[in-house]
Amino acid sequence: MVRSVRGHLAALDAEGAVVEVGGVGLSVHVSPTTLVELPAVGDCVELVTHLVVREEALDLYGFGTSAERDLFMALLGVGGVGPRLALAICGLDSPEGLRLALARGDAGAIQAAPGVGKRIAERVVLELRDRVGAMNGGAAPAGSTAVDEARAGLIALGFGPDEVEGALADTPAGLDAEATLRHGLTQLRRR
């Protein structure tokens, strides 16, 4: 298995990047997120990779971070999502932003990827929502607020995204995540 490549960025094309390693140019498919972070052609580049083996091809997919590769691999486990769709979804936002969208149950955010329809987006959310915390080591995504963490917790408890938004709409300022979660649960019990 090819886990990473390091070499000179030889070219950028519609398929992604060509990384020259030991005199061999490797074609590496990259997400739009990774593409904008690549150095100038001719500079040294290092990408974490995932090799997809099919009968007719060996395709190498490259990412700027291990977190993006892990998300890509999780997306491949969803029925109906192949490498191209997984790469398109990874290109929507940072891995942390996508994990937050999944935790919220935001299928609309996933549907914004080229080629992803409503049914696939809903399947991605349904199958990956509960695995988001495990992919992130159980920690809240970097930069998330107390409301974001409470929202993810309430959705993980089985409440719908619309119910959760309504319950957290009048959250008092300054509460930590635990207090925000309790406030949301109290509001949901009243309904």
pLDDT in tens, 76-110: 999 999 999 999 999 999 888 898 889 888 999 99
Q: Fold identical between 4-64 and 66-144?
A: no
Q: CATH classification of 66-144 is 3.40.605.10, yes or no? A: no
Percent of the chain with pLDDT over 70: 93
Q: Could you report the per-residue pLDDT of 105-163, keeping only the tens digit for each?
A: 899 999 999 999 999 999 999 989 877 654 554 444 444 578 888 887 787 777 777 88
CA distance 63 to 165: 33
pLDDT of residue 161: 79
Assign domain 4-64 one CATH number from 3.90.340.10, 3.30.360.10, 2.40.50.140, 3.40.50.12280: 2.40.50.140
Q: Reduce the DSSP state of residue 125 to 3 states and report it.
A: helix
pLDDT of residue 89: 95
Q: Reduce the DSSP state of residue 177 to 3 states and report it.
A: helix
pLDDT of residue 29: 96
pLDDT of residue 138: 44
Assign domain 145-191 one CATH number from 1.10.8, 1.20.1050, 1.10.10, 1.25.40: 1.10.8
Q: Tell me the mean pLDDT in the region 5-25.
A: 92
pTM score, two decimals?
Answer: 0.68
Query: How do the domains of the chain map onto residue ranges?
Result: 4-64, 66-144, 145-191
Pairing between β-strand 24-30 and β-strand 58-63 as defined by DSSP bridges: parallel
